[in-house]
């Protein structure tokens, strides 16, 4: 069963901008000579998404926090392993947000919170309004946001899973994702976790104890488990207890981040003139431009 158009679709937009940046040839420039390959790829993604989902409630969430995210205040090394985005890509992020706005789509971005947090907060608001949620992202961390009736959609692979589908995919329940990352860490985001605790061990321990808190409270039992290296795992958990709790905090998606005033996740009125100007400036070709105009006029 697929999610209905009435569901609130929340798009991890930065992920798809990065994919377009890496997957679209940089052979087109705007009027000032700057590359616009990511914008062109993102535009095609939006056309495909809107056409396939027929979503009447769809919002785009972008990462703007960079190293100013509240998680950096808690742990300065958070995402410090990532190279800063080049200026050519930063400019295109701005164009992608402008494109979403011209299409009449609510755009979420905040200097202190990440796109994940904005999606989590918008999801909570949607549920209060009686709508189910569809999170358009391939990021497994997003699974922690799924409640009964929600879906996550890996658009590129066209794979969907609901709350019950998280365990068959990842070996843990949706609500255990922060605890799981507290144990394993996340090299991509520079979250430390517990050294020597890998995905299989973390999933096994959470299957037995249910939560990180319960596991840490019952550490004396761990060496007695019929689990390879159980005594060593217990010692590592005892030594790195604070790192596990910190890592869980870093991996937990906020659900009360501030959203724009008046935001309700609905399609806004598209700005056809702004869309035309943007397409002209970014030298978007006639076929993609025609598809964008069609998307802008889809019934809300």
pLDDT at 296 over 90: no
Kindly state whether residues 242 and 155 are assigned to the same domain: no
Kindly state whether residues 157 and 181 are assigned to the same domain: no
Q: CATH code at 245?
A: 1.10.150.20
DSSP 42: H
Kindly state whether residues 127 and 264 are assigned to the same domain: yes
Q: How many domains does the chain have?
A: 2
Determine, yes or no, domain membership for 217: yes
Cβ atoms of 13 and 115 within 8 Å: the answer is: yes
pLDDT digits over 180-209, tens only?
A: 999 999 999 999 999 999 999 999 999 999
pTM comes to 0.94
Question: Looking at residues 123-130, what average pLDDT do you find?
Answer: 94
Kindly state whether residues 19 and 138 are assigned to the same domain: yes
Kindly state whether residues 115 and 199 are assigned to the same domain: no
3-state DSSP percent of the chain in helix, strand and coil, to 5 = 50, 10, 40
Domain extent for 221: 174-251
> Across all residues in the chain, what is the average pLDDT?
92
Q: CATH code at 130?
A: 3.40.50.1010
Residue 278 vs residues 85, 105, 181, 189: alpha-carbon distances, Å: 23, 15, 41, 33
* C-alpha distance across the termini of the chain, in Å: 22
Kindly state whether residues 258 and 151 are assigned to the same domain: yes
Determine, yes or no, domain membership for 1: no
Residue 141: predicted pLDDT: 95
Neighbours of 183 (CB within 10 A): 27
User: Alpha-carbon distance 205 to 119, whole Å?
Assistant: 29
Determine, yes or no, domain membership for 288: yes
Question: Looking at residues 147-155, what average pLDDT do you find?
Answer: 96
pLDDT digits over 243-252, tens only?
A: 999 999 999 9
Kindly state whether residues 20 and 34 are assigned to the same domain: yes
Determine, yes or no, domain membership for 85: yes
Residue 231: predicted pLDDT: 96
Residue 4: predicted pLDDT: 58
Which residues on neighbouring strands pair with residue 61, listed in sequence order? 12, 108
Q: Residue 29, SS3?
A: strand
């Amino acid at each position: 069963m697929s999610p209905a158009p009435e569901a609130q679709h929340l798009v991890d937009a930065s992920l798809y901008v990065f994919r377009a940046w890496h997957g679209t040839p940089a052979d087109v420039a705007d009027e000032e000579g700057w590359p616009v390959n990511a914008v062109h790829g993102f535009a095609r993604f939006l056309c495909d998404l809107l056409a396939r989902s027929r979503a009447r409630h769809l919002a785009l969430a972008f990462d703007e926090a960079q190293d100013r995210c509240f998680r950096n205040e808690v742990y300065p090394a958070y995402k410090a392993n990532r190279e800063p985005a080049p200026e050519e890509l930063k400019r295109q992020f701005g164009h992608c947000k402008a494109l979403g706005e011209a299409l009449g789509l609510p755009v979420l971005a905040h200097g202190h919170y990440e796109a994940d947090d904005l999606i989590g907060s918008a999801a909570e608001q949607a549920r209060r309004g009686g709508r189910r949620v569809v999170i358009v992202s391939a990021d497994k961390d997003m699974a922690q946001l799924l409640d009964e009736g929600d879906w996550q959609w890996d658009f590129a692979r066209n794979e969907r899973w609901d709350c019950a589908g998280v365990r068959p995919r990842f070996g843990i329940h949706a609500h255990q994702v922060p605890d799981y990352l507290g144990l394993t860490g996340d090299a991509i985001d520079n979250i430390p976790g517990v050294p020597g605790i890998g995905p299989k061990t973390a999933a096994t321990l959470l299957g037995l104890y249910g939560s990180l808190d319960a596991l840490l409270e019952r550490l004396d039992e761990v060496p007695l488990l019929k689990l390879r290296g159980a005594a060593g795992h217990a010692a590592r958990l005892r030594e790195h207890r604070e790192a596990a709790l910190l890592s869980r905090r870093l991996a937990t998606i906020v659900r009360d981040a501030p959203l724009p005033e008046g935001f309700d996740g609905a399609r806004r009125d598209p700005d056809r003139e702004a869309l035309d100007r943007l397409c002209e400036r970014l030298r978007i070709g006639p076929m993609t431009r025609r598809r964008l105009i069609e998307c802008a006029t889809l019934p809300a």
